[in-house]
């Protein structure tokens, strides 16, 4: 390396991004309504007044936490749905993308799961209901297409299958740790094997 060469450096994390990560963790641990701006500021190592330089309220912080998570989730999902894959391959890709999002946004997923019912009626968070409807259509439509094409069993209720898949995957946010034994892709692979191929050894 010569004197003129430069060493690539990662983009520094902004204070706003750090605050959002802290707020997401505190909301996930203690609940949104029980969390004060002062508590978030204390966890972030700053004065509460300084926090208002970045956000006008804790509601604004929650809004950004959830919207960033859902924007990234749908960027991944939309790419999968636009790829023209078969039903099984689509389910495999959606499950894998879901675990990647849990890996990236574990605290945001936990907050979403805890607070969704309390927020969905608020005009500011109306996008949550729209996202939920879109989510159900994506998964349910794929399962129904698979049954119609003979890829998935036609004797199973698609809505029960959808709920089973949804809950099986997303409950992982309660125990997943980024530094755990398996990464998101390996967890997705094993989940898919259990869901699509079963636990029992085939004769």
Sign of the alpha-carbon dihedral angle for 129, 134, 139, 143? positive
Judged against a pLDDT cut of 80, whether residue 23 lies above it is answered with yes
- Domains of the chain, each with CATH number or no CATH: 63-197 (1.10.357.10)
User: For 175-188, how does the pLDDT look when each residue is reduced to its tens digit (9 = 90+)?
Assistant: 998 888 999 999 99
Distance separating alpha carbons of residues 161 and 140, to the nearest angstrom = 8
User: Phi then psi for 182, rounded to 5 degrees?
Assistant: -120, 140
Distance separating alpha carbons of residues 177 and 22, to the nearest angstrom = 16
pLDDT of residue 50: 86
Judged against a pLDDT cut of 70, whether residue 4 lies above it is answered with no
Judged against a pLDDT cut of 80, whether residue 33 lies above it is answered with yes
Which residue blocks in 4-86 are alpha helix, DSSP H?
Answer: 15-30, 37-44, 48-51, 58-81
Q: Is 83 left (phi over 0), alpha (psi -120 to 50) or beta?
A: alpha
Distance separating alpha carbons of residues 177 and 54, to the nearest angstrom = 29
Higher pLDDT, 198 or 109: 109
Sign of the alpha-carbon dihedral angle for 32, 33, 38, 39? negative
pLDDT of residue 13: 58
User: For 129-170, how does the pLDDT look when each residue is reduced to its tens digit (9 = 90+)?
Assistant: 999 999 999 999 999 999 999 999 999 999 999 999 999 999
Average pLDDT over residues 106-117: 94
Q: Model pTM?
A: 0.87
Judged against a pLDDT cut of 60, whether residue 66 lies above it is answered with yes
State the DSSP code for 201: P
């Amino acid at each position: 390396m010569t004197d003129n060469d430069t060493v690539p450096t990662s983009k520094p994390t902004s204070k706003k991004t750090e605050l959002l990560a802290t707020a997401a963790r505190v909301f996930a641990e203690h609940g949104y309504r029980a969390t004060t701006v002062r508590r978030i500021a204390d966890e972030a190592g700053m004065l509460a007044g300084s926090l208002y330089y970045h956000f006008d309220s804790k509601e604004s912080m929650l809004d950004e936490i959830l919207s960033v998570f859902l924007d990234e989730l749908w960027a991944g999902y939309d790419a999968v749905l636009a790829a023209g894959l078969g039903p099984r391959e689509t389910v495999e890709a959606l499950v894998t993308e879901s675990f990647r999002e849990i890996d990236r946004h574990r605290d945001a997923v936990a907050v979403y799961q805890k607070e969704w019912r309390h927020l969905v009626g608020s005009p500011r968070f109306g996008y949550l209901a729209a996202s939920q409807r879109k989510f159900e259509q994506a998964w349910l439509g794929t399962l129904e297409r698979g049954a119609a094409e003979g890829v998935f069993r036609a004797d199973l209720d698609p809505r029960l299958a959808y709920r089973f898949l949804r809950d099986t995957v997303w409950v992982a946010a309660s125990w997943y740790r980024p530094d755990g034994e398996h990464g998101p892709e390996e967890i997705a692979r094993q989940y898919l094997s259990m869901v699509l191929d079963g636990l029992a050894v085939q004769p």
